[in-house]
Amino acid sequence: MKTTYRLIGLMAIAGLTLAACAAPVAPPAQPAQPAQPAQPAATEAPAAPAEISLRWRTRPDNKEEADVYASISDEVAQKLGIKLTYEPGGSETASYQDVLRTELAAGTAPDVFWIPGTDIADFVQRGLLLDLRPYASATEGYSDSNYYPEPMFHLTYNPATGKTGEVLWGLPRDVSTFVLYLNLDLINEAGAPDPRELAKEGKWDWAAFKEVAEKVNALGGDIKGYGMNAWWGPFGAFMNAAGGGFFNAERTACSLNSKESLEGLAFARSLYDAGVAVPYGEDSEPPFRAGKVGMFQNGRWATPGISTVTFNWDVVELPKGPSGHMGNWLFWGAYVVNKNTKHPEAAWKVVNALTQPDIQAKVAARGTNIPSRVGEAVFAEFLKILPEKNNQAFLNGLADKPTAEGPLWTGSWPDFDKAMGAKVSDVLTGKLSVEDFGKTICDEAGKAFNK
């Protein structure tokens, strides 16, 4: 018996070891698909065109969205006649971008992947992305103008010549923008004016916003009038709304110390000083979902989660600042192609297919994203999407001169963000005055340029 066990054990080990040499089989749901040779890296070539096998990755916000992407993957694969494997990326412990960068360094990154807009310049300048312009030019019906112009500016920017339109680094997956998620029950209970009505009347500005926040906050206990999360987007919107911003117009220098930027930051600080905001640095979504925050500033990606709350909720566009604009962001990310892919044309076709209106509509139907294509028909379709809350508020945000989430072509965004984020955190938690922030911030954050 012992010999038998040893034999079985040895066979099992040998079998598993040998099996590890090959690729995994298809999932049970697709028994018809045969096992394919391993395609670990984007650098391996298939034996014949019929065996084109590509991997692609994007970051879903939840399991349901990952399932949508997986089904879209099958649809695109069938349409293009290739094998296409979808890999959801990002988890609590593995940052999407960090893992992707590591895989790019190791040569095991997927052929097609999504990256946020802030990373485009870094990836391009390190030679990690394929220029898709030759393939796009040969594609019938393709036009840069099908998409929002702000992301396309960066996606067609050639750092070698400083001109746009010459190259194409990818196509935007979707766009998003900030709104204020409203707890209507709290606002009514506080007797505060309805922000949606104020917005319709053109009276939705910083003063009105602060008034609503203060009235809700006056309900007492652990109720807060307003909440935002601790990253560059929320406080940046205040700076933008005041007419300032992170960079100068050419995005070649720091402008965090401009009068307007400081005004925006001072307004944000005043919300914390007055105690009407959820403490900066704490996730504002849990207390909002627990019904303890009147207004929560976040993007479209928060909609599916918030749609499950039990109180009456809606959204309103951001209030207008001293500049007369909301100062909103146009958040975006793009599908790009690994420069080392062995199937560049097929990879382009995948990117193009993933950004077609029908595919974008399926993703947008989850409620997380706004299609990156422009046009009345697209907008009309978006307005029908569940959860049938005030979707127009998102489109209003996108229409009011938003600032595109953008890469730094002449500097390092991660370095800029680190220097800025730490200092702004000190300001909004009361450790540093706005004045002192203004005196030193561009000395520190400015070092990120020309790195």
Partner 1 sequence: MVWHAGLCVLLMAGALVSVAGASALDLLTIALAVAQALLALGSGAAAALILQRNHLGRTLSLVINYVLFLACLIGLAHVLGLFMGLDDLADYMARGVPFLMGALFIVGYFVAATELRERPVSAARRTLGRVLMAIGAIGFALTAGVVPALASIPGKYASSGLLPPALTAGAVVLGYMLWSMWRGESARAMGAKNIHSERLNGWLFLSPNLLGFTLFFAGPLLFSLYVSFTNWDSFNKRDWVGLDNYRRVFNLTVQPLETPDQPANQAIDVQVYDELFRVNLLGQGYLIGAEDKRFWISLRNTLVFGLLAVPLSVVPALLLATLLNSRLPGMRIYRTLYFIPSVAAVVGVALIWQWMYNSQVGWINYFITSAVNFINSVFGTNIKDPQIRWLADSDYALLSVVIMSAWQWLGFNTVLFLAGLQTIPRELYEAATVDGANPRQQFFNVTLPMLTPTTLYVLITTTIQALQVFDQVFIVSNGTGGPGTSTLTMTLNLYQNGFQSFRQGYASALAWVLFVVIFAFTLFQFRRQRRASGAYDM
Whether 150 and 330 have beta carbons less than 8 Å apart is answered as yes
Bridge partner residues of 179 (DSSP)? 298
Q: Are strands 83-88 and 53-58 parallel, antiparallel or unpaired?
A: parallel
Residue with tokens 């203060």: 214
Smallest distance from partner 1 to CB 114, Å: 17
Is 25 near partner 1 (CB under 8 A)? yes
Figure out which of the listed residues 58, 65, 113, 122 binds partner 1, where binding follows CB under 8 A. Answer: 122
Q: Tell me, by CB under 8 A, how many residues bind partner 1.
A: 69
Is 4 near partner 1 (CB under 8 A)? yes
How far, in Å, CA of 235 to CA of 421, rounded?
Answer: 10
Smallest distance from partner 1 to CB 301, Å: 15
Is 97 near partner 1 (CB under 8 A)? yes
Q: Could you tell me which stretch among 37-45, 109-117, 259-267, 377-385 binds partner 1 (CB under 8 A)?
A: 37-45
Is 81 near partner 1 (CB under 8 A)? no
How far, in Å, CA of 448 to CA of 95, rounded?
Answer: 22
Contacts 24+ apart (CB under 8 A), 98-104: 100/57, 104/128, 104/338
Whether 225 and 323 have beta carbons less than 8 Å apart is answered as no
Is 412 near partner 1 (CB under 8 A)? yes
How far, in Å, CA of 325 to CA of 6, rounded?
Answer: 75
**CA distances for 264 relative to 127, 181, 269, 321, 417, angstroms:** 37, 21, 9, 8, 17
Whether 281 and 262 have beta carbons less than 8 Å apart is answered as no
Smallest distance from partner 1 to CB 390, Å: 26
Is 29 near partner 1 (CB under 8 A)? no
How far, in Å, CA of 236 to CA of 228, rounded?
Answer: 11
The contact pattern for partner 1, residues 208-237, with x = CB under 8 A and - = no contact, is --------------x-x-----xx------
Is 67 near partner 1 (CB under 8 A)? no
Which parts of 261-290 interact with partner 1 (CB under 8 A)? 278-283, 286-287, 290
Which parts of 40-59 interact with partner 1 (CB under 8 A)? 40-41, 47
How far, in Å, CA of 61 to CA of 23, rounded?
Answer: 28
Is 10 near partner 1 (CB under 8 A)? no
Is 83 near partner 1 (CB under 8 A)? no
How far, in Å, CA of 318 to CA of 70, rounded?
Answer: 34
Figure out which of the listed residues 18, 29, 50, 380 binds partner 1, where binding follows CB under 8 A. Answer: 18
Figure out which of the listed residues 13, 20, 207, 377 binds partner 1, where binding follows CB under 8 A. Answer: 20
How far, in Å, CA of 438 to CA of 410, rounded?
Answer: 22
Figure out which of the listed residues 84, 124, 128, 168 binds partner 1, where binding follows CB under 8 A. Answer: 128
Helix (H, G, I), strand (E, B) or coil at 321: coil
Is 95 near partner 1 (CB under 8 A)? yes
Q: Could you tell me which stretch among 28-36, 160-168, 187-195, 400-408 binds partner 1 (CB under 8 A)?
A: 28-36
| DSSP category for residue 427 | H
Residue in 396, 352, 423 with CA at minimum distance from that of residue 137: 352
How far, in Å, CA of 135 to CA of 158, rounded?
Answer: 16
Q: Within a 13 Å sphere around the CA of 234, how many CA atoms are in the beta-carbon half?
A: 25
Which parts of 313-342 interact with partner 1 (CB under 8 A)? none
Which parts of 345-404 interact with partner 1 (CB under 8 A)? none
Q: Which is nearer to partner 1, 34 or 141 (CB)?
A: 34
Figure out which of the listed residues 24, 159, 165, 324 binds partner 1, where binding follows CB under 8 A. Answer: 24
Angle at 410 between CA 405 and CA 415, to 5 degrees: 70
Q: Which is nearer to partner 1, 35 or 377 (CB)?
A: 35
Is 35 near partner 1 (CB under 8 A)? yes
Figure out which of the listed residues 7, 10, 78, 98 binds partner 1, where binding follows CB under 8 A. Answer: 98
Is 105 near partner 1 (CB under 8 A)? yes
Is 450 near partner 1 (CB under 8 A)? no
Handedness of CA 65, 66, 71, 74 (dihedral sign): positive
Is 433 near partner 1 (CB under 8 A)? no
Smallest distance from partner 1 to CB 257, Å: 11
Is 188 near partner 1 (CB under 8 A)? no
* 157 burial type by CB count under 10 A (0-12 exposed, 13-18 middle, 19+ buried): buried
Determine the length of the chain: 451
Is 7 near partner 1 (CB under 8 A)? no
What tokens does 157 get?
């920017």
Footprint of partner 1 on this chain (CB under 8 A)? Answer: 1, 4-5, 8, 12, 15-25, 28, 34-38, 40-41, 47, 92-93, 95, 97-98, 101-102, 104-105, 108, 122, 126-128, 222, 224, 230-231, 278-283, 286-287, 290, 292, 412, 414-415, 418, 421-423, 425-426, 429, 431, 439-440, 443-444, 447
